[in-house]
Amino acid sequence: MDAIPLALDGYLAAEAEPGDRDGTVCWRLICSAGTDHLTEEAVIPCTTMEPEIAHALLTERHPGDLLRVIGRLTLPDTADGAIRLHAEGLEVLWEAPMLDDADTATAPDTDTDVDRNRAIAALAEALTGFGEATPGPGQRIRIHISPTGTLGAGLEHCHSIDITPAQAHQLTDAIDRLNCHLDTEQTDGIDLDLDLDTIAELTDLFADIDIVDLTRTVLNATRPECRARVTQALDDVFGSAPVPGAEDTDL
């Protein structure tokens, strides 16, 4: 069966080992299945005869490294056979920190680890559903999520999600709005304990604002092609306010 050209991103599952033939190296790559079922992952056996790749895998790469393997995928001729990716190129997307001897022992997860892993799972699930909202061909952007520090046996908490460029812009806008919201909640040590008279004065000040008149004034000073965005900005500040008709604005 003909080999299929393929590039896969995944985490090195274990130390690479010399193959059955001289000059070959074998390893396993853990790849996300790309569905909203977070437990679905594929372990792809890989091999190479390229000396540079073999040397890098045997001497430089270690479990937890995020790799992009470029090569050709061969499918088995029988139902009980195994697929194998024959690597012709290798890129290191992220290098996992080296484990010290003191870190090799498996330690139980702390409450902080559990909270972090739940947060990773929730974020991965949300991004996966978001990325699948507009399926189809076209350019995609890949987002990798993993714990910081040494991965050890925590590769199950690593996820890769594909989104479209348009969705990336939507995420950027949502994050910008979230940052603005968080900034408004930070008082920077300013004492906001106002007296009742000041609160009453502020209440009267805002009560005197005519939202319709304010909207009309702002729109009159706004270019026609920008009015939709300016109206949305006013709604974000004051809530959904009546928009003056074309007859109420100076075009």
Residues for the chain: how many in total? 251
pTM of the model: 0.48
Backbone φ and ψ for 216, nearest 5 degrees, come out as -60, -45
Query: pLDDT per residue over 179-222, tens digit each?
Result: 887 766 665 555 555 566 777 777 777 777 777 777 778 778 88
DSSP class of 23: T
Which pLDDT belongs to residue 104? 45
Domains of the chain: 4-168 (2.40.50.140), 194-251 (no CATH)
Query: pLDDT per residue over 40-84, tens digit each?
Result: 568 899 999 999 999 999 999 988 888 999 999 998 878 777 889
Query: pLDDT per residue over 1-13, tens digit each?
Result: 578 999 988 889 8
Instruction: Kindly tell me if the per-residue pLDDT of 29 is higher than 60.
Output: yes
> Would you call 143 exposed, middle or buried from its count of C-beta atoms within 10 A (0-12, 13-18, 19+)?
middle
Between CA 12 and CA 32 the distance in angstroms is 12
Given a contact cutoff of 8 angstroms between Cβ atoms, the answer to whether 32 and 143 are in contact is no
Which pLDDT belongs to residue 38? 42
Between CA 29 and CA 152 the distance in angstroms is 15
Which pLDDT belongs to residue 50? 94
Per-residue exposure over 28-59, b if at least 16 CB sit within 10 Å of its own CB, e if not = bbbbbebeeebeebeebebbbebeebbebbee
Lowest mean pLDDT among 57-61, 64-68, 107-111, 132-136: 107-111
Which pLDDT belongs to residue 162? 81
Q: Are strands 84-94 and 41-48 parallel, antiparallel or unpaired?
A: parallel
Can you say how many angstroms the Cα of residue 100 is from the centroid of all Cα atoms in its chain? 29
Token pair for 217? 């004034």
Between CA 33 and CA 43 the distance in angstroms is 10
Per DSSP, the residues of 159-171 read: EEEEE-HHHHHHH
Which pLDDT belongs to residue 239? 65
Model confidence band, residue 166 (pLDDT cutoffs 50, 70, 90): confident
Helix then strand then coil, % of the chain, to nearest 5 = 40, 25, 40
Most confident by average pLDDT, 98-107, 124-133, 199-208: 124-133
Give the chain's mean pLDDT: 77
At 136 the three-state DSSP class reads coil
